[in-house]
Structure 1
Amino acid sequence: MSPTHEELTEQLIRLIDIRLLDPLEILVDGHAAIDPLRAIVRERARSWATTIVSGDDRAAVRVAMRAISTLYPGDGPFDPPLDWWRSPLGQAVARRVGHPNAESVSYAVAGAMLGITRQGVHDLASRDKLTRHPEGGVLSASVRDRLLKEGTRRA
């Protein structure tokens, strides 16, 4: 099931509050200037969610990647836990981007992206419904394509 626009909007707002605005509010000792930022974030999050869920592919990928790089900074590659793929943002990213920085994903990650078990991924790969990667796992693009083509449980 695809995430709804509202679910994605609310998750983006929550993540930005927790990861960016709350720490900034602490840093500036509760300065009132943070409140207008929260209003801007609410407005923009609706626009971002619309683009990710129903915008053209290039714009959706650009917005999704910008959100991921801002909300999940790190020195290494983006490697979210399996349950992240069940979130509205994870579902939308799986559908629009695939895995943001991996050509192939493990059966466990592919299962999380698709909302099925590793065994289910193995069965799909065995029936050539997902493309195996020569070095193991399956191609991230084949997971994304399956989500788009068949409208499976995960978005």
Structure 2
Amino acid sequence: MTETGPLAQQLMSIMSNRLLDPLEILLDDPVTDLRERCERAAEAWAARLHGPEANYAIASIVGALYPGDEAFDPPADWWRTPLGQVVLLRVGFPGREAVSYALAGAMLGVTRQGVHDLVTRDKLARHPDGGVTVTSIRERIQLRGHPR
């Protein structure tokens, strides 16, 4: 499996669930050609997310796959997915400087108590308004040697 494998699989899964499956139902016809194009696009987008165009690719993907008038606010477990980890490493949490201890724990794959311990030991930075800074979470993940 390539470096982009899990990420491309997640992108394809999202496109399938939100675009292709509903089209197959509405058109009452398989969308095989479109599915193949989406698979190639998912690989290409995954490669962009690991390259120098990552920030632009993240903005494009988040805008297209998670549309809405509300601020981008995925569920906590999303941050442990391949796409969530790339977004976190490349841009942090768009529109937020800090997150709750619980969300920081989800991002890092540790408990809320684990985050509290990391803050106490100055391994994560407490935000003046509460919670943990997204920057310190990103730095912690990079220190653990997470693949970019």
TM-score exceeds 0.5: yes
- Deviation per residue, 1:32-83 (Å, 9 max, x gap): 6x4322222111111111221x312xx1122122212211222211211121
Among 35, 51, 54, the residue aligned to 1:55: 51
What count of residue pairs does the alignment treat as equivalent? 147
- Please list every run of 5 or more consecutive structure 1 residues that lacks an aligned counterpart in the other structure: none
Q: Does 1:44 align with 2:48?
A: no
- Deviation per residue, 1:133-153 (Å, 9 max, x gap): 11111111221122123326x
Among 82, 106, 116, the residue aligned to 1:122: 116
Q: What pairs up with 1:3-152 in 2 under 5 angstroms? A: 4-27=3-26, 29-31=27-29, 34-52=31-49, 54-56=50-52, 59-151=53-145
Q: Which letter maps to 2:124? A: L
Report the Cα distance in structure 2 between the residues aligned to 1:100 and 1:23, rounded to whole angstroms. Answer: 29
Shift of 1:31: 4.8
RMSD: 2.2
- Deviation per residue, 1:79-126 (Å, 9 max, x gap): 111211222211222222221231111111111111111111112222
Q: TM-score, normalised by structure 1?
A: 0.83
- Deviation per residue, 1:3-45 (Å, 9 max, x gap): 9411111111010011122223333x2356x432222211111
Tell me, yes or no, if the aligned pair for 1:65 and 1:100 is still in contact at 8 Å. no
Q: TM-score, normalised by structure 2?
A: 0.86
SS of equivalent to 1:12: helix
- Please list every run of 5 or more consecutive structure 2 residues that lacks an aligned counterpart in the other structure: none
After TM superposition, the runs of 4+ consecutive aligned structure 1 residues lying more than 6 A away are none
Q: Which has the higher contact order (CA 8 A, sep 6+)?
A: 1
Identity of aligned residues (%): 50
